[in-house]
Chain A
């Protein structure tokens, strides 16, 4: 495959509430930042990811185009998926060989509605949505299927929040305090409210460039050595919720196991998802998981997955790591998984 690298990554300072900024206003600064960092103002291809139902209106991506300075007209597409899949589409487009750069962005404002119940709309409209199954109920079922020890889950939450407090782009969330509430405050059992990712508004942008251009633009490009994604059957009763076959398949196809992984940024919105994904990706104990704090510290839906890839690129861009993994997920209960391996 043609050599493609991440040469720039930018994200908003995510907020837990609606600041009143429109989506183009949210996106514009991160686009400006990656343009400034690369010195590029035009890209061979542009692709974005967002969701109409988060915005509460059709065509949420249309006005976003106004934030890009898309004139003269640009070669552009949009996925109704997390921005990580926009990055995938851009990576594929760069394989054609006729262009050498791509701009990718993802954005979402989950503060506008009740994400927990809006997620119900994504389910099988005949068998699942009529039951009113919500995001937390499904996550709780998967958590029950995993059956992890409470301490292990709490440790993941504590570590994620502490890392998030050290990350200027993530939210400042307090350590969960088991002493103040020994029984635990259950969202839907066995999920505790501290297991639930924060409502977050935010956006992120990535610039991809092919070999020669990448080296010109950036001292330490993060080369995409492998990228793959897989989906599995939708209905939770027709798959094994305790394991992620699709994440394991994607990891194999991306070549995660072909070398040591220093950092893995996983799109684990709940602590039990981190456990499932660690196993699926067959990560070793010495792999640092979600040093950014991960989705438990900032979860701007539709950008969260793209941010994982950006955060996995960051230590390579700054020269502190040589091989990292970025992961993104979509659909209920980790139905769809994308894995990318980045190398210095």
Chain B
């Protein structure tokens, strides 16, 4: 085998870039563009060419001196989608190339459309220009187009200040000191957790809170493949855990075990954050972890 011939990089780049004189027609178009207007030029036959040429592309005849403002909106006639933009492209995120028939033009302008995703653009999509912030008299002063507004995103936000009073306050006070509090219905004797003031079933008042142990049994669970800020990893398990002594399960994370090893009937124990990190919130329980006891028949 002959050895690899030597290789080297070779770059052709005229220092500073080519200096292109535009002539009157291209110059007019780019000047209008700089002023955030799009113009076409009328041919002798009456068609409006956008972008304007010095000649009718069909015949080579000179165009008239009549400039016509077109757009700014237009309709996509053909488009293609770039998933991975190249360095020289107008946008650095996925975008569409489109032939755009601007309102009032008889030819289509080729430009980029920032449509977000390929489904958001098709033949017939109406698009509007987005101008570059610092126009310099280049075709890229028209930064790109975007689809016409057909919906708006309306952020709605209201702010409140809540207090955990009543039964919730009691429960969270328990959590703060590392205890899960429930309450027994004085009529049906069911134990509810978290602690509440009345029985959902019979409406009977619930008496003093009772402390429940931090252990329980997984009654059912889900393996979640979408990340969640509270979960340690993906996939993670969210489980219904029936605390020992309670009659209604709580939903909590299961951790310290591979998701696919979590089972119905698995015995678990609450893993509390260290005392100094505790607040009056459920984040005090990091998750429930297997105790290693034999599974419970459900």
A residues engaging B (CB < 8 A)? 18, 20, 53, 56-57, 112, 116-117, 120, 125-128, 130-134, 137-138, 140-145, 186, 188-191, 233-239, 241
Q: List 27 A-B contacts (CB under 8 A).
A: A18-B7, A56-B10, A112-B10, A127-B26, A127-B110, A130-B140, A131-B90, A131-B112, A131-B140, A132-B90, A133-B110, A134-B86, A134-B88, A141-B78, A141-B80, A141-B110, A144-B78, A188-B97, A189-B81, A190-B80, A233-B57, A233-B58, A235-B51, A235-B53, A235-B57, A237-B100, A241-B99
Nearest-neighbor residue (CB-CB) of B80 within chain A: A140
**What's the Cα separation between A190 and B119 when bound, in Å?**
12
Residues of B within 8 A of A241 (CB): 78, 99
Contact B26 A126 (CB under 8 A): yes
Contact B88 A132 (CB under 8 A): yes
**What's the Cα separation between A143 and B86 when bound, in Å?**
20
Contact A238 B107 (CB under 8 A): yes
Q: Which 3 A-B pairs have the closest CB atoms?
A: A132-B88, A237-B108, A140-B80
Residues of A within 8 A of B30 (CB): 126
**What's the Cα separation between A132 and B86 when bound, in Å?**
8
**What's the Cα separation between A51 and B4 when bound, in Å?**
26
Residues of B within 8 A of A138 (CB): 97
Return the contact of A189 from the options B86, B111, B118 (Cβ within 8 A).
B118
Contact A137 B97 (CB under 8 A): yes
Q: A131-B89, A189-B80 are in contact. Are A141 and B139 (CB under 8 A)?
A: no
**Contact residue range for chain B?**
35 or more
Task: Decide yes or no whether B49 CB sits under 8 A from chain A.
Answer: yes
Residues of A within 8 A of B107 (CB): 235, 237-238
Residues of B within 8 A of A126 (CB): 20, 22, 26, 30, 51, 139
Residues of A within 8 A of B258 (CB): none
11 more contacts with CB within 8 A, not counting A132-B89, A141-B98, A237-B50, are A18-B7, A20-B4, A126-B20, A126-B139, A131-B110, A137-B97, A140-B82, A141-B79, A144-B80, A188-B80, A237-B109
**What's the Cα separation between A112 and B18 when bound, in Å?**
23
Contact B80 A128 (CB under 8 A): no
Residues of B within 8 A of A130 (CB): 138-140
Task: Decide yes or no whether B12 CB sits under 8 A from chain A.
Answer: yes
Question: Could you tell me the distance in whole angstroms from the C-beta of B142 to the nearest C-beta in chain A?
Answer: 10
Return the contact of A141 from the options B86, B97, B138 (Cβ within 8 A).
B97
Nearest-neighbor residue (CB-CB) of A185 within chain B: B83
How many A-B residue pairs have C-beta atoms within 8 angstroms? Tell me. Answer: 110
Residues of A within 8 A of B10 (CB): 56, 112
Contact A120 B99 (CB under 8 A): no
Task: Decide yes or no whether B5 CB sits under 8 A from chain A.
Answer: yes
Nearest-neighbor residue (CB-CB) of A53 within chain B: B12
Nearest-neighbor residue (CB-CB) of B106 within chain A: A238
Return the contact of A145 from the options B57, B78, B109 (Cβ within 8 A).
B78
Residues of A within 8 A of B49 (CB): 238
Contact B57 A191 (CB under 8 A): no
Residues of B within 8 A of A143 (CB): 80
Residues of A within 8 A of B26 (CB): 126-127
**What's the Cα separation between A142 and B22 when bound, in Å?**
28
Interface centre among A20, A144, A188, A189 (most CB of B within 10 A): A144
Interface centre among A53, A132, A143 (most CB of B within 10 A): A132
Contact A141 B57 (CB under 8 A): no
**What's the Cα separation between A127 and B57 when bound, in Å?**
15
**What's the Cα separation between A138 and B107 when bound, in Å?**
17
Question: Could you tell me the distance in whole angstroms from the C-beta of A331 to the nearest C-beta in chain B?
Answer: 13
Interface string of B63-95 (1 = CB under 8 A from A): 000000000000001111111001111100000
Nearest-neighbor residue (CB-CB) of A237 within chain B: B108
**What's the Cα separation between A241 and B108 when bound, in Å?**
11
Residues of A within 8 A of B138 (CB): 130
Contact B78 A128 (CB under 8 A): no
**What's the Cα separation between A190 and B97 when bound, in Å?**
11
**What's the Cα separation between A188 and B86 when bound, in Å?**
11
Residues of B within 8 A of A238 (CB): 49, 57, 107-108
Question: Could you tell me the distance in whole angstroms from the C-beta of B97 to the nearest C-beta in chain A?
Answer: 5
Question: Could you tell me the distance in whole angstroms from the C-beta of B9 to the nearest C-beta in chain A?
Answer: 10
